Every structure is written in C-alpha cells, then in structure tokens.
Amino acid sequence: MQANYDYIIVGLGLAGISFCEQLRANHKTFIVFDDSSGKSSTVAGGLYNPVVLKRFTPVWKSEEQLGLALDVYDKLEQLLKVTLDYKIPVYRKFASVEEQNDWFTASDKLVLTKYLSNKIIPNKNTSVIANHGFGEVLHTGRIDVNTLVKSYKSFLGHNDSFLEEPFKYDALNTSERGVNYKNIKAKHIVFAEGFGITKNPFFKNLPLVPTKGELLTIYAPNLKIEYVLKGPVFLIPIGNDLYLVGATYEWQDLTYDTTEKAKTSLLEKLETLISCPFEVIQQVAGIRPTVKDRRPLVGQHHEHQNMYVLNGLGTRGVMIGPYVAKQLYNFIEKGRALDDEINVKRFIS
C-alpha cells in the first residue's frame, strides 16, 4: 500500500529536527529516515554562544539565529517534556593583560556590547588556573543535544513518522510531480544527513569538509564551577561533578574510533586550566559536517526540482539549525529567496 506525505526527510540530527519543527508548525506531513550512524551530535557540547572567542568577533547572524533558536528549543521542551536549555555563562580565560585589553576594545563595539561584559572577573577558585581572570559572555547556554535527539526520535516513532533504517539512494525516483521511494510518495525530499552526504550521489560533490571531533567526560569533585570555562579547550559542567572537555579537530582520520592522540592532546590542554584531581569517565568521537567557507549548505538540487539539501552546520549547529531550516522552508513553500551566503548555488558553476 502506498503512503503519501508532503516531505521525506533523511537524517535526524540538529538540521533534520529543526526542519521537522518547521513542517509541524505548518501542518505538513512527513516521514524521517535515520540509521543513527555518524552523528556529530555525539560530540556536540551543545553550546550556544554568539561570540567567536578566539577573535572576539560576533558569530555570523548571531542575533537572528539566537532569537529563533531559543524559541524553538523552548517549544521542544514543552512538546517532549524534557529539559534541553541550560542557561549558563561562558567565562573566557585571559592568558595575558593584552588579551584583557583586546576584550575591552571588543566589548565597546556596537555589535558586541550586549554580549560581552565589560568587567574583568577575578579567579577565586583554587582549582582553576587563571591569573589574569576571565571575561564573561552573556546570553549563552547549553542545549542537551543527546536528550533532544533521543526524545525527538521517540516522539516521531510514537507518531509513526520515523524509520530507523539506512536510506537507499538507488530506490529513489524523481519526477516533476514529486518523489517516490519504495512504497512512499512525497512532494519533496530534504537530505539533512550531515557527514553522510559524502555517500549521497545527488549532493556528494558539494564541498563538505568532514571534521572528526573527540570529547572527554571527566569527574572532578573538587572543581565546583558553574560556568563554561573557555581556555585552550572548553570545560562544560553537566551536573554531578561531571564536565565535558573538548573538542579536537581532525581531518585525516574520519573513523568513529577514539584515539589516544586526541585524549593526550585534550588532557595536556586541560592541565593548563585546572589544578585539581580528576578522572576520565568517557571518550567519544563524531564527525562534524563543516564547509570550507564556514557557511551551511542549503538549497535545491540543480536538476531535481523536488530535492533539497540542509547540511554543513559545522560546530554551531545548535544556533544555526533553526535559522537555516526556516530559510529552506520559506524557499520551498513560499518562494522566498535563500540567503546568498548559504545557498548551494554558490558552489555550482
């Protein structure tokens, strides 16, 4: 028996969930395929932070992204009956007086003044190494991405909108009227499969640069910090004296195996941040879908008019996901132009 939908969505990471939420808000029917392989969400610290802390510059379209994203996660908390959004400040450790001065200069800029506190916070924690204190980033927090993905998958499953299986590209047929996949007929298909796009014959030529990331979870009962600490690594409290430490960036080894090299690198950096004893509880690896120009990959296939891509969210998927999902939905359903910076046409000559 043939099933009919408005949309088929392939992939249920941050991009896929964000697009599903656009469809639900607009009463569109859909079915999602996802086989749980290769999720970058396994290494997502889940931070939303409107400032690039290496250079003290605003994140691309941070204001639009943040407002939209927080509204989406608030609605998701109510829908899924879970806590996802943990409001937590980010403290940037200063390595020198020069960095303090750079921070003050940045905090005076109109685009950053609401996000960067203009006070230096002295370090009073004997377990933290920060002789020059910290700068506080405002309007920050952490989304519990693993809980989001797990709960959303369960929600879709209960509504018969989810199939946990690999998508077979060769079983897809397209026409001017829509797409057919096995016994499913839909008006449109959206590929939101992250790193998996490298095996997608329709979009594999897009310049995705997969980046492996590894993340540690440590137990540090004497640390007692209630803020995200950013130094050479991020240190993110997740409750019960547990902290995430991450993350690494690796472009050659694109396996999901954890490595001693990454662990050593993270621990060496961590030991310049904290001085108390700790124990490594877990190490995980995932592949992030990054793009060479640091902008997402969003838009329509150049030949198949009912086929779309929503990918390349990189390291800031928590903030970018809802923004690009809304852009794509408005493009498909309302004929609104996509932002040039994210449109895949920029790579199609």
User: Reduced to 3 states, what is the DSSP secondary structure of residue 80?
Assistant: helix
User: Reduced to 3 states, what is the DSSP secondary structure of residue 56?
Assistant: coil
In the chain, which residues fall in CATH 3.30.9.10? 208-288
Residue 151: CB atoms within 10 A of its CB come to 19
End-to-end Cα separation, the chain, in angstroms: 41
Question: What distance in Å separates the CA atoms of residue 317 and residue 122, rounded to the nearest whole number?
Answer: 32
Residue 32 near residue 192 (C-beta atoms within 8 A):
no
In the chain, which residues fall in CATH 3.50.50.60? 3-44+146-207+293-347
pLDDT digits (tens), the chain, 349 positions: 789 999 999 999 999 999 999 999 999 999 999 987 656 666 678 999 999 988 888 899 999 999 999 999 999 999 999 999 999 999 999 999 999 999 999 999 998 999 999 999 999 999 999 999 999 999 999 999 999 999 999 999 999 999 999 999 999 999 999 999 999 999 999 999 998 999 999 998 999 988 999 999 999 999 999 999 999 999 999 999 999 998 899 999 989 899 999 999 999 999 999 999 999 999 999 898 999 898 999 999 999 999 999 999 988 899 999 999 999 999 999 999 999 999 999 998 6
In terms of CATH, what superfamily is 3-44+146-207+293-347? FAD/NAD(P)-binding domain (3.50.50.60)
Residue 328 near residue 32 (C-beta atoms within 8 A):
no
52: amino acid identity, one letter: V
Q: Which fold has domain 208-288?
A: D-Amino Acid Oxidase; Chain A, domain 2 (3.30.9)
70: amino acid identity, one letter: L
Taking the model in full, what pTM does it have? Answer: 0.94
261: amino acid identity, one letter: K
Question: What distance in Å separates the CA atoms of residue 213 and residue 211, rounded to the nearest whole number?
Answer: 6
Angle ∠(149,42,130) on CA atoms, nearest 5: 120
Q: Which of 319, 321, 339 is nearest to 331 (CA)?
A: 339
User: Reduced to 3 states, what is the DSSP secondary structure of residue 265?
Assistant: helix
